[in-house]
Amino acid sequence: MQDIPNNGNNAGNRRIAMLIDGDNAQASLIEKMVAETSKYGLVTIRRVYGDWTTTQMKSWKDVLSTHAIQPIQQFQNTVGKNSTDSALIIDAMDILYEGAVNGFCLVSSDSDYTRLATRIREKGVFVMGIGKNTTPRAFVNACEIFVFTQNLTGEKEIRKSEPATPGAEVIAVPFDPLPLLKNAFDISVQEDGWAFLGTVGGHLHRLDPSFDLRTYGYKQLIQLIKAYQDTFEIRVDKSRHGPSLIYIRLRDENPA
């Protein structure tokens, strides 16, 4: 099972508003996107924004009723300007201050939602994002969790590609996650040199909201750690009354 970080609130009690920018999200992935969002809470509000008078939104019309998604009309008043952004942002702020949810999922690869995600987090509300690997780093880091659509489609690798907009910083997922693992370990390590694996996992997502085991072909963090057994030593403390506790430490810090 995919390791899910603990984000403070109980995911079982979290109500999430899923707001989709229909202009740059794939309707064919809606089932997977809803399932992914549901890992972090109950998706009580589902809306997709766009100009429904255009052919671009045709693919969304076929999935609206199946997944109980409410279409929000936003006319494109100016050529070359995405009016969907402003409509989604206004609705998000209304929902935030109504207090009907305690979590948001913003589905877009557009950097225009960076400030929105930041504002939501400033209110102490959970926010996740779903978008392409070309999503600007600023938007990714503004979320607590960011899921690349490539991981939802089962693509094995996320490669650096051209920016979605000129000058935008592109996410280049490292082929080797070891530096990130070491950083998370350094934050989590205890005085005895060992770090609880669950704590390491939590810090991985704080260091990089887009960290996803599926990017590297794994479902559990322990599987990824085992791929680096030359670097990490693993200790399993078995319990008769509960789950085993897993700890790791750096091998080069072991006593001689």
Grouping H, G, I as helix, E, B as strand and the rest as coil, residue 160 is: coil
Element (H, E) at 197: helix 197-207
Q: Does the residue 192 lie in any domain?
A: yes
Instruction: Say what the pLDDT of residue 155 is.
Output: 60
Strand residue runs (E) in the chain: 15-21, 42-50, 70-73, 103-107, 126-131, 145-148, 195-196, 232-237, 245-250
Distance, CA of 57 to CA of 27 (rounded, Å): 9
Q: Does the residue 4 lie in any domain?
A: no
52-58 contacts at long range (C-beta below 8 A, 24 or more positions apart):
56/22, 56/23, 57/22
Q: Does the residue 245 lie in any domain?
A: yes
Determine the structural domain holding residue 229 and report its residue range. 178-253
Instruction: Say what the pLDDT of residue 141 is.
Output: 95
Instruction: Please count the structural domains in the chain.
Output: 2
Q: Does the residue 82 lie in any domain?
A: yes
Instruction: Say what the pLDDT of residue 80 is.
Output: 45
Q: Does the residue 168 lie in any domain?
A: no
Q: Do 66 and 130 sit in the same domain of this protein?
A: yes
| pLDDT tens, per residue, the chain with 256 residues | 345 454 445 667 899 999 999 888 899 999 999 999 999 999 999 999 988 888 878 888 888 888 989 999 876 655 444 566 888 999 999 999 999 899 999 999 999 999 999 999 999 999 999 999 999 999 999 999 999 999 998 765 444 444 444 555 555 554 689 999 999 999 999 999 999 999 999 999 899 999 999 988 899 999 999 999 999 999 999 877 778 899 999 987 545 4
Q: What CATH number should be reported for the domain holding residue 193?
A: 3.30.420.610
